[in-house]
Amino acid sequence: MSENLIGYIDDQGNILDTQSAEENCTATPIEYDNSDNALEIIRHSTAHLMAQAITELYPNSQFFVGPVVDEGFYYDFRVDEQIGENDLKTIEKKMKELIKKKYKIEKYEMTKEEALVKFANDDLKQKVMSRIEDDTLSIYKQGDFEDLCRGPHVPALRFLHNFKLTRVAGAYLGGDENAEMLTRIYGIAFADKEALKAHMTMLEEAKKRDHRKIGAEMNLFMFDEESGAGLPFWMPQGAKLRAKLEDILHKAHRVRGYEPVRGPEILKADMWRTSGHYACYGENMYLTNIDEQEYGIKPMNCIGHIQIFKQTQKSYRDLPVKYYEYGVVHRHEKSGVLHGLLRVREFTQDDAHIFCAPEQIAAEVIEVVEFVDSVMKLFGFDYTMEVSTKPEKAIGEDDVWELATQGLKDALNENNLPFTIDEGGGAFYGPKIDVKITDALGRKWQCGTIQVDFNLPERFGVEYVAEDNTRKQPVMIHRAILGSFERFIAILVEHYAGEFPFFLAPTQVIFVPISESHVDYAKALKKTLMLEGIDSEVYDKNDSLNKRIRTAEKQRVPYVVIIGDEEVQGNSVAIRNRRTREQYNLTQDEFMVELTQQLQEGKI
């Protein structure tokens, strides 16, 4: 057996650690490296190492769960003391001391009944076990520390040298806002120092690019806790940025045959009962009573588009019918997960629904994928696709789900488009393709989605007249390219660090007249640019020239244009190009040609 062996992948794609695999296991081995499977084992094990260190430092601590997540791992626990960021180094030091003791990580099993007795005095363990249906539970032990866990874990602590605890947070027990607040510590781990160092460098850069920080500096958006958590206000600069993004997509939709529509933001609760949202998503909806009837503020745009489709009789010749809407939706996100524009309670989806015949699914899905590709290339994103299958909480029959899921897979396979599978990750009404983009720092974000739905058309009695004059049910493809404008703008801010391409920048040019005699010329240029759809400002405040130039540059505007006597007399401009870091002079006409050419780069 290799000294670097830490686990196996079985035929079903499950990770087995060496403690769980049988002797002479023939499954695919997992070596100690920075592959995704190896990192899952390493990070899960490091979470337990952290818990062991916390136990030694704070003997009264009790532990809830400690999973691996996209950003590394965390553990939720109860402790009497207040633990802050300054305590993380102390915990890390204790973790390193424990590694030197060369503990093996051992696994043993017991019945659930035995475990309930063993942890009778630990209410957090009791809550964990209440969520487990298995009759046999596994426990992992290292030295004097042990915890309920399914694994997987490395064979010994000697594999866990390259880690960093990153932050402390509060977390409601089980995610329930009415439950007690536990302490949560996040961390990251890798197989070698180089990968850890690169990741920590990325985190430092991510702090500088934080969309909340840059958004405040550029006056893009704001939040007001008195008005309500998770409800963004768009400042003029942010509204201009958003309008540019909306306009790019609006034109792209129209040339692809989509028709604009708009549905109500509130509907009778019975509509949401029919759709299944009330049963499967009701806890995330805002409900109210009007004239003694219950209404629900929409969390999604599907029903409005269905009702519009049903308004007039459709023939097979009309299909596919494509509707799109920048639909404002509301979802009751828990306060603990709200995070700037990335997680809000009100947001706008670039939502579209395609009503088509079953035989048109593959062609429509591919057309949407091509649409996604053009948008991602415009902003310089690489992306991957993931097919998500039926979740536990779902509506519709298994055979319908299988048909829809296979339709997505076939469309991608027939066009040689690679994808992965997320078992159980679909929407409650249908399977989907999730588009996951990679930003300038190598971070992955889930954005767009393509969902095939046979269920909602059936529930609402959606029909079209087929070629043989019978009535048939269309397929409904739910589709969003960005996901939501709020989330996508947050990602764009961090991807570009606020240095937006010219066609997207909220303010594209700032004119800085040297003196009062140059202001009229600057304002005339501003008006000319506005007529061409270019946003500019004139900085003519009673400040020094250098201060006005510095203020302009802080706004990350692509062009800062200095106006003096020479420019006024020669109908020219003195340019500081922030994107190319060049300074040069152009005539007015040459300047307009340069700007209009850059506007064209925003077309898809």
Q: Which of 145, 200, 156, 147 minimizes the C-alpha distance to 41?
A: 156
Residue 237 sits in the same domain as residue 375: yes
- Mean per-residue pLDDT for 569-594? 95
Q: What is the pLDDT of residues 512-532, one digit of tens each?
A: 999 999 999 999 999 999 999
Residue 203 sits in the same domain as residue 225: no
- Mean per-residue pLDDT for 194-198? 96
Active site residue 302: yes
Q: Report the pLDDT value the prediction gives residue 1, as an integer from 0 to 100.
A: 58
Evaluate whether residue 273 is within a structural domain: no
- Mean per-residue pLDDT for 95-118? 94
Q: What is the pLDDT of residues 476-502, one digit of tens each?
A: 999 999 999 999 999 999 999 999 999
- Mean per-residue pLDDT for 65-87? 92
Residue 448 sits in the same domain as residue 567: no
Q: Are 61 and 106 in contact (CB under 8 A)?
A: no
For the chain, percent of residues with pLDDT exceeding 70: 100
Evaluate whether residue 298 is within a structural domain: no
484: domain CATH number is 3.30.930.10
Q: Is the pLDDT of residue 271 over 90?
A: yes
Catalytic residue among 19, 52, 142, 349: 349
Residue 370 sits in the same domain as residue 232: yes
Q: Report the pLDDT value the prediction gives residue 280, as an integer from 0 to 100.
A: 83
Residue 53 sits in the same domain as residue 155: yes
Active site residue 432: yes
Evaluate whether residue 282 is within a structural domain: no
Distance between CA 230 and CA 339 in Å, rounded? 8
Residue 420's beta-bridge partner residues?
386
Residue 583 sits in the same domain as residue 513: yes
Q: What is the pLDDT of residues 115-149, one digit of tens each?
A: 999 999 999 999 999 888 888 999 999 999 999 99
Catalytic residue among 153, 244, 331, 479: 331
Q: Report the pLDDT value the prediction gives residue 424, as an integer from 0 to 100.
A: 87
Q: What is the pLDDT of residues 234-267, one digit of tens each?
A: 999 999 999 999 999 999 999 999 999 999 999 9
Catalytic residue among 107, 330, 478, 548: 478
Which stretches of 276-414 are DSSP H helices?
277-281, 302-310, 361-378, 398-414
Catalytic residue among 147, 351, 439, 535: 351
Q: Is the pLDDT of residue 345 over 90?
A: yes
Residue 379 sits in the same domain as residue 350: yes
Evaluate whether residue 504 is within a structural domain: no
Residue 552 sits in the same domain as residue 430: no
Evaluate whether residue 275 is within a structural domain: no
Evaluate whether residue 587 is within a structural domain: yes
549: domain CATH number is 3.40.50.800
Q: Which of 468, 494, 520 is the last residue of a domain?
A: 494
Distance spanning both ends of the chain, measured CA to CA? 54
Distance between CA 489 and CA 495 in Å, rounded? 10
Q: Is 531 exposed, middle or buried (0-12, 13-18, 19+ CB in 10 A)?
A: exposed
Catalytic residue among 432, 459, 479, 578: 432
**Total tally of structural domains belonging to the chain:** 3
Range of the domain at 574: 509-600
Q: Report the pLDDT value the prediction gives residue 592, as an integer from 0 to 100.
A: 96
Q: Report helix, strand or coil for 591.
A: helix
Catalytic residue among 44, 125, 199, 302: 302
Which stretches of 17-122 are DSSP H helices?
36-57, 88-99, 112-118
Q: Which of 304, 280, 406 minimizes the C-alpha distance to 353?
A: 304
Active site residue 331: yes
DSSP state of 427: B
Active site residue 478: yes
Q: Is the pLDDT of residue 42 over 90?
A: yes
Q: Is the pLDDT of residue 223 over 90?
A: yes
Active site residue 353: yes
Beta strands 382-388 and 346-356 are: unpaired
Evaluate whether residue 258 is within a structural domain: yes
Q: Report the pLDDT value the prediction gives residue 411, as an integer from 0 to 100.
A: 84
- Mean per-residue pLDDT for 221-233? 95
Residue 231 sits in the same domain as residue 168: no
Q: Which of 424, 459, 494 is the last residue of a domain?
A: 494
- Mean per-residue pLDDT for 55-70? 93
* Mean pLDDT, all residues of the chain: 93
Residue 321 sits in the same domain as residue 241: yes
Q: Is the pLDDT of residue 429 over 80?
A: no
Q: Which of 193, 209, 225 is the last residue of a domain?
A: 209
Name the token pair of 286.
């805002």
Q: Report the pLDDT value the prediction gives residue 45, as an integer from 0 to 100.
A: 96
Residue 323 sits in the same domain as residue 183: no
Q: Is the pLDDT of residue 394 over 90?
A: no
Q: Are 327 and 351 in contact (CB under 8 A)?
A: yes
Q: Is the pLDDT of residue 176 over 80?
A: no
For the chain, percent of residues with pLDDT exceeding 90: 76
51: domain CATH number is 3.30.980.10
Evaluate whether residue 251 is within a structural domain: yes
Kindly give, in sequence order, each residue whose CB lies less than 8 Å from that of residue 356, ignoring residues fewer than 6 positions away.
Answer: 319, 320, 321, 364, 474, 475, 477
Residue 524 sits in the same domain as residue 472: no
- What does the DSSP assignment read for 330-351? E----GGG-BTTTB-SEEEEEE
Q: Report the pLDDT value the prediction gives residue 267, as an integer from 0 to 100.
A: 96
Weakest mean pLDDT among 129-138, 389-398, 579-588: 389-398
